[in-house]
Amino acid sequence: MFEYNARYSKISRLTLDGAGRARVALHYGPAFSTYNETSDLILRDTAVGLLLGGIKDQGQAENEVLRCRFLRCSEAGLMTGYFNCMDVWVWYCRFEDCGHALFNYAGNFHAWQNLFLRSRIADVGSKNLMVFSFVNNTSIGSRRFLDFDTGHSWGSPMTISGNRIIDPTDEFPLLLGNRGPYLVMDNTFKLPPGSTKWAAKMSLGDQTFVGNTYNTTNTAKEAGRFRRVAEKTIPSPEVDASPPVLPATPQHQDRRVIEVPAGAGAGAIQQAIERASLLRGQRPIVHLPMGIYTVSNTLVIPAESDLQLVGDSAGETGTRLNWAGPKGQVLLKLAGPTHATLRDLNFDARDSSAILVENADQPGGRIFADQLNVRGPNLKAGDRGQRAERKRQRSDSLSVSGGEGQGDLAPSAIRVNGLVQTDVLLRCLQGEGNSYTWVEVSGAVGGGAVGGGAVGGRAVGSGPLVPSSNQISIFTGATSSAEGQYNVRRGGHLVVRSLYHEKSTATLRGGLYLSDSGTLAIDAARFSCATSPQSPLVTVANFRGLLTVAASQFNPVGSTNPSRFEMTGDGSAASVLALNDLFWVLEPGVTSQKVWLNHADPPAAGGLLGCNMNGDRDMLKSGFGFLENVPGTNAETHSALRTPQSALDQPSTLNSQPPVGPSTLNPQPSAIPPSSATWRPCAKPAFGCRPKAAPARPTSASTA
């Protein structure tokens, strides 16, 4: 019905009715597109509601599908149809009476907090392999929730967490067909009354079942290599079978609009901001129409303002604010506390910072960004000596601080510094770190505080770390080259879920480099990074804290060297866990000893657990292989997985796997845990956290 080839665009608030005659309601293709939003559509009575690409098309990547309704799509509500149709993020959608709600012919998608009703074949199905995640969805009355019985002998890493599967009509509502690995966590299965069918069927590969709840003793038909932890059976009446209330389409609000002339300078923009700030409580809009705005002085949105700074597009041909002031300064500063919204804007700060949010740490505070696209500073190959000078200058794309200071922090694309109370959620995050870290989170340090008497220090302090009660998260997204994708410092904590990381050059640390302290938890991610004998994918050097990378895929780029974890320096306070990860191999003879190098002294705790390999038949028999489990070697930090008293978890279900040490599957987001900490899967894992409700008008901005 509608073929759409735009990129950096938004299509929204339409109804496409196929009346039972049209094959496809909305088709992205045949040309390549990226950075699109598909929101608040109703697609009904077709074979396929939304088709991204096709076998003869190019890729359709980085597309947020938000709050759409798919009704009576006989084949699939949403289908990916080409191998480069990746990073499709499906949020808050409703699927009713479809064949498949989601089907992957080729490519991949991630589905979060959707409602599936009465899917005839399965809510989710796939013909091909990649990284997937299905988080906090609800399925009611469908034949199956997930059917990945594709027949592939290769694996497809996947997180399946927080879902409710209610009254499925067939056996094995969770059917794990390929080799995984799978992380199946915190799901609830309610089979119909009197059912004797199984709730899940394991694959012949690797899987970890942790924290799941069943209303039947026929929980999971076991196979392959597995581990089961803290699962339980409860009576059917105790299962919450009610459908969720999904966010509604945002309603039009008749706000006061202050227009800024196209191409105006900093003075005119600042005057409009100050006028709007006098209308606090009315959520006025300062509108910058499409055009280029040269900004030579820092724009400031005053504290307590609830204005909305809105452009016409975050694309490069939309509303662009280009910095023309001194190096090391800030293009736009938001003084906190703030209730301001930024939307559909492109910031190019060059050698300075694009956006700085100060004094942002308050009880109950929330910072939410949707489809933020941020790129860090970029140094050419001959300019690497400039790093020290860049470290002395502000050069972040987005910086959020509890106070005013940046201290000794080097540039990054996104920095969260010293927040201990305000939650930060970055959804469908995109961009790249270039010559620096993409996202860095630093904790608060007591003693030497600057910044208005907020809790703890916000700059350089020599005192103890300030305990935090907030959550800083990135849920779904994609990024390219960076000198280390993520970093945590001074006890900072970060949860990263369902992110794609693309090739970095051989001169960059393309994966992770942790050398300070904190907690970092990553799952359902793909790292396609340059590899070499000198550059591990993950380096943990004198790190003090917890790192978990789970249900993720590692692809070497530019050489045959396998991706590897390498721990060096003092490992006494470090715990590193690679759980249910997939390593692609391009050379024969890859073993655990080649991908897991624990050279720390004393060795870091943790280990390599439930991981496997894909590769050509010249590399691996049948193209698939198991990696031997490698436990950490700090005896003091090791304890066997606790065996719950439930009959579901007798020692035999541990499948003779070795114990592991502490991990960030259950991170403690405050100070670094003591070395005697144990892995406590009975507590709510950080990966299971549900994102808080998003603002009705989310931030959408692009910075460079």
75-122 residue pLDDT tens: 999 999 999 999 999 999 999 999 999 999 999 999 999 999 999 999
pLDDT category, 493, cuts 50, 70, 90? very high
Same structural domain, 101 and 223: yes
| Residue 243 resides in a domain | no
Which band of pLDDT confidence, cut at 50, 70 and 90, is reported for residue 681?
A: very low
Q: Residue 509: pLDDT band by 50, 70, 90 thresholds?
A: low
In a domain, 526, yes or no: yes
- Both 102 and 185 in one domain: the answer is yes
- Are residues 315 and 459 part of one domain? yes
Residue-wise pLDDT for 526-583, tens only, equals 999 888 888 899 999 999 999 999 999 999 988 899 999 999 999 999 999 999 999 9
Over the stretch 123-178, which tens digit does the pLDDT of each residue have?
A: 999 999 999 999 999 999 999 999 998 767 788 999 999 999 999 999 999 999 89
Confidence of residue 648 (pLDDT cuts 50, 70, 90): very low
CATH number at residue 220: 2.160.20.10
Question: What pLDDT score was predicted for residue 445?
Answer: 84
Question: Percent of the chain, pLDDT > 90?
Answer: 69
pLDDT at 689 over 90: no
Say whether the peptide bond before residue 181 is cis (omega within 30 degrees of 0).
Answer: yes
Q: Which of 420, 439, 467 is the last residue of a domain?
A: 467
Q: Which of 467, 502, 532 is the last residue of a domain?
A: 467
Do 232 and 126 belong to one domain?
A: yes
Rounded mean pLDDT of 243-257?
A: 95
For residue 549, the enclosing domain spans 472-646+660-688
Helix (H) or strand (E) holding 507: none
Same domain, 438 and 491: no
The pLDDT, as a whole number, for residue 448 is: 40
Joined tokens for residue 188: 């609830």
Quote the percentage of the chain above a pLDDT of 70. Answer: 82
Six token digits for residue 571: 């490992």
Average pLDDT, whole number, for the chain?
A: 84
Confidence of residue 350 (pLDDT cuts 50, 70, 90): confident
9 and 114 housed in the same domain: yes
Q: Does the pLDDT of residue 28 top 80, yes or no? A: yes
Asked if residue 699 is part of any domain, the answer here is no
* Residue 427, domain member (yes or no): yes
Residue 315's pLDDT is 83
Domain end marker among 467, 501, 523: 467
Residue 298's contacts (CB-CB under 8 Å, 6 or more residues apart) are 266, 325, 329, 330, 331, 332, 333
Highest mean pLDDT among 46-60, 289-303, 624-638: 289-303
Q: Using one digit for the tens of pLDDT, what is the confidence trace for 402-459?
A: 654 445 556 788 999 999 999 999 999 998 887 788 999 999 987 543 322 222 224 3
Q: What is the pLDDT of residue 602?
A: 96
Co-location of 173 and 189 in the same domain: yes
Is residue 113 in a domain?
Answer: yes
46: confidence class by pLDDT, cuts 50, 70, 90: very high
Average pLDDT over residues 487-506: 89
Residue 536 CB partners (closer than 8 Å, separation 6+):
511, 563, 564, 565, 566, 597
SS3 assignment for 425-444: EEEEEEEECCCCEEEEEECC
Shared domain for 543 and 436, answered yes or no, is no
pLDDT of residue 447: 52
Q: Is the pLDDT of residue 691 over 90?
A: no
The SS3 of residue 508 is coil
CA 178 to chain centre: 23
Q: What is the predicted pLDDT for the residue at 677?
A: 23
- Total structural domains in the chain? 3
pLDDT recorded at residue 152:
77
Q: Which of 671 and 515 is assigned the larger pLDDT?
A: 515
Query: Do both 344 and 311 map to the same domain?
Result: yes
Q: What's the mean pLDDT in 502-523?
A: 83
- Asked if the structure places residue 255 within a domain, the reply is no
Is pLDDT above 50 for 20? yes
Hunting for tokens 């009904």 — which residue is that? 44
Q: What distance in Å separates the CA atoms of residue 444 and residue 447, rounded to the nearest whole number? A: 10
Q: Which residue has the higher pLDDT, 418 or 659?
A: 418
Residue 654 backbone phi and psi in degrees, to 5: -75, -10
Residue 417 in tokens: 């510094």
Question: pTM for this structure?
Answer: 0.88
Distance CA 336, CA 358 (A): 5
Locate 444 and state its tokens.
Answer: 């608060």
- 92 or 701, which is more confident: 92
Is residue 633 located within the same domain as residue 573? yes
pLDDT of residue 400: 82
How many angstroms separate the Cα of 566 from the Cα of each of 127, 164, 315, 598?
A: 35, 38, 39, 6
Are residue 345 and residue 441 in the same domain, yes or no?
Answer: yes
Looking at residue 557, its pLDDT comes to 87
Before 602, cis peptide (omega within 30)? yes
Residue 232 confidence (pLDDT) above 90? yes
Task: Tell me: do 666 and 617 sit in the same domain.
Answer: yes
Q: Determine, yes or no, domain membership for 250.
A: no
Residues in Cβ contact with 328 at an 8 Å cutoff, skipping those fewer than 6 apart? 351, 352, 392, 393, 394, 395
Distance CA 206, CA 613 (A): 11
Residues 269-291, mean pLDDT to the nearest whole number: 97
Domain annotation covers residue 654:
no
562: preceding bond cis by omega (within 30 degrees): no
